[in-house]
Amino acid sequence: MVKRPIEIVVLSDIHLGTVGCHALELLQYLNSIDPKIIVLNGDFIDVWNFRKYYWPESHMMVLRTLLTMMANGTDIYYLTGNHDEVLRKVSSLQLGPLFVRDKLILNLKGEKVWIFHGDIFDISIKHAKWIAKIGGKGYEVLILLNRMVNWFSVKMGREKLSLSKKIKESVKKAVQFIDNFENTAIELAIDQGYDYVICGHIHQPKIRGHENEKGSVIYMNSGDWVENLTALEYDGDEWSMFRYNEAEFLKYERIEKQMVARTKSKKKVIG
């Protein structure tokens, strides 16, 4: 696959080590791009729900791919989240092109970009961590159930649905689970003079602008690789949202195979 050159890629909530992680799809995406910087914005490895008996080869391949990208000149910033908060003990660590941080501030063509996971806004994490951990385990079970339901739905010719999204939305409305997450990030970013604020954590990919009497900011959330399979990309001029589409990747793979076959045929004729 021909790799797309990208200045910056932001990925969050990959949750390696859990059954919900779409590692194979992530591998396809990583193998399709050539970024200068990758920002892993929290919950890359799910330490909360990690089990010794569950670490598929595809999850290891994600790590190997990232190591290869670093060896080829890509800088990787690992920003800590709540599911990998143990790394906050070493959040000033640097190993060559790998940087472990709690937040990242970039200056892109005179515009200030503030990147962090976002669990600091989550009331359930701050005041009742044990509730959040129980919720994390239940979420994994829900993902498995959702896959089973969707298998039957597709067989019956119906559309796929997300049980976890529906349940999370109802729970958030009932107990204010995120407590106006986006508005809090936006207001704080404007107060501190940032032009962009990028978060993860809530698994809701979004790009939206906001303006008030104090100023304006563009809020972005890179989503996740459990439900939405999304990433933020910066091409040197503007930000955009990447959404994984299996059909598109299969199409490009077929085209590349055809091109390789034609090249081999030409070589045989010349030879």
Q: Which amino acid is at 67?
A: L
- In 3-state terms, what secondary structure has residue 134? helix
**Measuring CA to CA, which residue among 38, 46, 43 is closest to residue 65?**
38
pLDDT over 60 at 114, yes or no: yes
Q: What is the pLDDT of residues 73-93, one digit of tens each?
A: 999 999 999 888 888 889 889
> Is the model more confident about 131 or about 53?
53
Helix axes 129-155, 163-175, angle to 10 degrees: 150
What's the confidence (pLDDT) of residue 28?
95
Distance in angstroms (rounded) separating the CA atoms of residues 37 and 49: 28
Q: Which range, of 21-30, 41-50, 132-141, averages the lowest pLDDT?
A: 132-141
Please give the structure tokens belonging to residue 193.
Answer: 């003079």
pLDDT, mean over the chain: 82
Q: What's the pTM value of the predicted model, to 2 decimals?
A: 0.78
pLDDT over 90 at 162, yes or no: no
Sign of CA dihedral 200, 205, 209, 211: negative
Residues 232, 208: contact at Cβ < 8 Å? no
- In 3-state terms, what secondary structure has residue 132? helix
| Best-predicted range by mean pLDDT (60-74, 157-171, 181-195) | 60-74
- In 3-state terms, what secondary structure has residue 72? coil
- Percent of the chain exceeding pLDDT 90 equals 52
pLDDT over 90 at 44, yes or no: yes
What's the confidence (pLDDT) of residue 125?
46
Q: Which domains does the chain have, with CATH numbers?
A: 4-122+178-270 (3.60.21.10)
pLDDT over 70 at 129, yes or no: no
Q: What is the pLDDT of residues 195-241, one digit of tens each?
A: 999 999 988 899 999 999 999 999 999 999 999 999 999 999 999 99
Q: What is the mean pLDDT of residues 55-71?
A: 96
What's the confidence (pLDDT) of residue 255?
57
Distance in angstroms (rounded) separating the CA atoms of residues 101 and 186: 21
What's the confidence (pLDDT) of residue 53?
75
